[in-house]
Amino acid sequence: MVQPGNSTVQPNGLSSGLLIAGLMLALALSACGRAPSPAVPAPADPILILATATGPQDSGLLDVLIPIFESQTGYRVKTIAVGTGAALQMARNGNADVLLTHAPSAERVLMREGWGKDRLLVMRNDYVIVGPTADPAGIRGMLSAADAFRRIAAARATFISRGDDSGTHQTERQLWARIGLNPDGQTWYLESGQGMGATLAIASAKSAYTLTDLSTYLVGRPYLQLEVLVEGDPVLLNVYHVITVNPERWPGVNYEGARAFAQFLVDPATQEIIGRFGVDQFGQPLFYPEAGKTEAELGVP
């Protein structure tokens, strides 16, 4: 029975509990406040928030580029991989300093509205239409992505859409709009609401078609029962821009850091790294460096 006056009874169990709790606290506190030691003195405002499309992150490219940028400049980059639609929204709300996105028409709207300051072309790769080897809609080898979409719709073959307002999703919706077809609500048209890697896995499991950037497909190919069926149509060009958020609209943003990051991405040395990335593993680059070119030169629609 309890003996309230006898304090020696209580502490045994409680003190062990407190000991564990104390250990947790010590561990937790030691987690905070650890910074990398850059080769150069840290800038006045070293924290830089990069909102990016998922492709550069999922392919591993940013895991290569960011540490180089950090050690060269002393900035500490917080990479938030959210998809292009969300990244553009973060710029509008002043929640990001710099963007890496791939939806040229939506980006032009952002610039026109004055939310972005600088916009530089960084790199490109290609979108491809992938699907099951059986190819029930018969699109293999077609030269026009729009015609392929028309055939998928006519065959009512399952198509997985990202459905997340990402750059890839916007390109896909533009293709449907081009052939004057609204796939919403069709039983064969499914929206995953997830990133490209997860969407490819769903398409593979469901023997379905989807539109993907080539880099994410190549990274996931060993696990996917999907093959590239349509490629090379100029409308399937996938162009990435770096955009700095306009400090006149959001005085709190780290414009100097954003500017430094944009310059880093278009720097010839960085461009060379981008062009080599993935060649060892996949036998071809995942992204082609195109800094300095204009959208017109690349044929962006």
Partner 1 sequence: MSLIWEGILDAIRLLIGDDPEVWQITLLSLRVSGLATLISLLVGLPLGTVLALGKFPGRSFLLSLINTGMALPPVVVGLVVSILLWRSGPLGSLGLIYTPAAIVIAQTVIAAPVVTGLTAAALQQLDPRLRLQLLGLGASPLQMVLALWWEARLPLLAALMASFGSVISEVGASMMVGGNIRGQTRVLTTAIVLETSRGQFARAIALSLLLLALTYMVNLALTWIQQRGTRR
Q: Which positions lie near partner 1, rule CB under 8 A?
A: 2, 4-5, 7, 9-10, 12-14, 16-17, 20-21, 24-25, 27-32, 36, 47, 49, 54, 58, 60, 63, 66, 78-81, 93-95, 194-198, 200-201, 219-220, 222-224, 250, 252-253
Q: How far apart are CA 275 and CA 261, in angstroms?
A: 18
Euclidean distance between CA atoms 149 and 147, whole angstroms: 5
Return the number of the residue (25 or 40) whose C-beta is nearest partner 1.
25
Shortest distance (Å) from residue 44 CB to partner 1: 14
Helix (H) and strand (E) counts in the chain: 13, 10
For partner 1, the closer CB: 149 or 277:
277
Cβ pair 48, 76 in contact under 8 A: yes
> Which one, of 214, 186, 181, 183, lies nearest residue 200 by Cα?
214
Cβ closer to partner 1: 106 or 198?
Answer: 198
Nearer to partner 1, 157 or 224 (CB): 224
Biggest alpha carbon–alpha carbon distance for the chain: 88
What gap in Å lies between CA 99 and CA 92, rounded to an integer?
A: 11
Q: How far, in Å, CA of 162 to CA of 142, rounded?
A: 22
Of 96 and 146, the one with the shorter C-beta distance to partner 1 is: 96
Of 43 and 94, which has the nearer Cβ to partner 1?
Answer: 94
Smallest gap from Cβ 196 to partner 1, in A, equals: 8
- Shortest Cβ distance from residue 28 to partner 1 (Å)? 3
Q: Of 8 and 187, which CB lies nearer to partner 1 in the complex structure?
A: 8
CA 198 to chain centre: 13
CB half-sphere exposure, 179, CA atoms < 13 A:
20
Nearest one of 261, 238, 250 to 51, comparing CA atoms? 261
At closest approach, how far in Å is the CB of 282 from partner 1?
13
CA-wise closest residue to 148 among 164, 162, 128: 128
CA–CA gap between residue 162 and residue 134 (Å, rounded): 22
